[in-house]
Amino acid sequence: MAEKDIDAPDWVDQDLLTKDEAGERLDEEIVLVRERLARLEAGPTGPDSASAIEMVRRRLIAMENVRASLLKTTTH
């Protein structure tokens, strides 16, 4: 029986990151976001800065949660 070609090319899989690669990139981004948060917290305060700080904090927490879940899946 002859093999049938698939309709979609296999190159799509090449765009996917491994969990380790994704974790490394996320680690780098977390460092940058922590630095940005520190700069915002050290700067002038006001309604605009408070909302910016809150948004950056939420982003950082979300990134840290994703990173923690990646660590769990790579160790199991």
Q: Please compute the mean of the pLDDT values over residues 66-76 and round it to a whole number.
A: 81
Model pLDDT, residue 17:
75
Q: Give residue-wise pLDDT tens across range 2-59.
A: 566 555 555 555 556 788 888 999 999 999 999 999 999 999 888 889 999 999 999 9
pTM, full prediction: 0.72
Q: Inform me whether the pLDDT recorded for 1 exceeds 90.
A: no
In SS3 terms, the chain reads as: CCCCCCCCCHHHHHHCCCHHHHHHHHHHHHHHHHHHHHHHHHCCCCHHHHHHHHHHHHHHHHHHHHHHHHHHHHHC
Q: Which two tokens stand for residue 61?
A: 């927490």
Model pLDDT, residue 19:
84
Using alpha carbons, select from 31, 15, 19 the residue that is nearest to residue 63.
Answer: 31
How many Cα atoms are found within 13 Å in the side-chain-facing hemisphere of 30? 15
Model pLDDT, residue 72:
85
